[in-house]
Amino acid sequence: MGKVPLPKFDYLKPQTTEELSAALAEHGMDAKLLAGGTDLLVLMRDRLVRPKYVIDVKGIEELRELSWDERRGLTIGAAVTLNELLASEIVRERFGALWKAAGTLADPTIRDRATLVGNICNASPAADTAPALLVLDAEVEVVSAKGRKVIPIREFFMGVKRTSLERGEFVKAVQIPNPPDGARGDYLKWGRTRGEDLAVVGVAALIADSGEKIMRIALSSVAPTPLRIFEVEKIPKEGGSIAEQIGKAVSIVREKISPITDVRGGKEYRIHMAGVLTKRILEGLLGAS
């Protein structure tokens, strides 16, 4: 069987964000943005989307920014690849949950093309990077011909494959504030295989136990959108032993999620594994035996 050709489209490659804004304003719903293309090209090949215009953003230098400073924290432009994130010492040391999540997504070849912004704009409930961004309180910088706005990541996901982006808008960058002093983060993924696979369940956590007591947990593949479980965040303030706190967190997570049954796993199995991974990730971060 021969290769399936892509549907016909016009290819545009703006060099500035202003040119990109103008192209989106003109072509609107007839256009799709191309950064890594690891999702878009598959959808086009399968005839699930048929854009009249494909707008390649990789030539816009402004979207390639990967920077950090003490005041703003981490800035990740829309054209920054996952492998570029993984190569960053700052991301590994200060934003560990995101570094770990990025390393579980697909394989090294795909990660050389795929972008963080593309992963969240695809808006899959199973997106690996989304739980890490949720516990890190990330914000999404959105630009259009009308101007700029900032959306908290927890308000960005609206449903399966749906974001809060409006007509003519694009994500310029993800901004992540510096975590609290002494914070530690991680991401655990449960898949059907040890190789490339979507998450059956994914759990990210951020813990700080010196100064302000912090416990944040977010999950993928357990609801229509990636989900931060805000109810667990009161647990450190209530006191109790580490084991008691972990037990409370596991119970709350299992109660608050609403997974489905699909080809990758059943509802009951996902609920069980969400509890297992929550216990495992908190034990690792809190040093429980």
CATH number of the domain to which 134 belongs: 3.30.465.10
160/81 same-domain check: yes
d(CA 88, CA 90): 5
Residue 196: pLDDT band with limits 50, 70, 90: low
**Average pLDDT for 145-156:** 97
Looking up tokens 């992540």, which residue turns up?
176
Last residue of a domain, one of 149, 176, 203: 176
d(CA 76, CA 109): 20
72/169 same-domain check: yes
The angle subtended at Cα 263 by Cα 105 and Cα 155, nearest 5°, is 55
65/172 same-domain check: yes
List, for residues 74-105, the tens digit of each pLDDT value: 999 999 999 999 999 999 999 999 999 999 99
User: Residue 41: is its pLDDT beyond 90?
Assistant: yes
**Average pLDDT for 155-168:** 97
171/73 same-domain check: yes
**Average pLDDT for 233-251:** 96
Residue 1: pLDDT band with limits 50, 70, 90: very low
Residue 1 forms part of a structural domain: no
CATH number of domain containing 261: 3.30.390.50
- pLDDT confidence of residue 192: 79
The fraction of the chain above a pLDDT of 70, given in percent, is 98
Amino acid at 73: G
List, for residues 48-58, the tens digit of each pLDDT value: 999 999 999 99
**Average pLDDT for 142-168:** 97
CATH number of domain containing 40: 3.30.43.10
Q: Which domain holds residue 44?
A: 10-56
232/270 same-domain check: yes
Name the residue with higher pLDDT: 193 or 65.
Answer: 65
Task: Report the DSSP pairing between strands 139-144 and 170-176.
Answer: antiparallel
156/77 same-domain check: yes
List, for residues 107-139, the tens digit of each pLDDT value: 999 999 999 999 999 999 999 999 999 999 999
Amino acid at 34: L
Residue 106 forms part of a structural domain: yes
Residue 2 forms part of a structural domain: no
> Domain tally for the chain?
3
Residue 154 forms part of a structural domain: yes
Residue 3 forms part of a structural domain: no
Closest CA to 176 of 108, 229, 130, 111: 130
Read off the tokens for 213. 């007591």
- pLDDT confidence of residue 286: 94
Task: Report the DSSP pairing between strands 170-176 and 184-190.
Answer: unpaired
Last residue of a domain, one of 129, 154, 176: 176
Q: For the whole model, what pTM was predicted?
A: 0.96
Residue 264 forms part of a structural domain: yes
Residue 142 forms part of a structural domain: yes
- pLDDT confidence of residue 275: 98
Residue 288: pLDDT band with limits 50, 70, 90: confident
19/125 same-domain check: no
Decide if 17 contacts 60 (C-beta within 8 A).
yes
195/272 same-domain check: yes
280/220 same-domain check: yes
Residue 14 forms part of a structural domain: yes
167/79 same-domain check: yes
- pLDDT confidence of residue 12: 98
119/47 same-domain check: no
33/76 same-domain check: no
Last residue of a domain, one of 176, 200, 218: 176
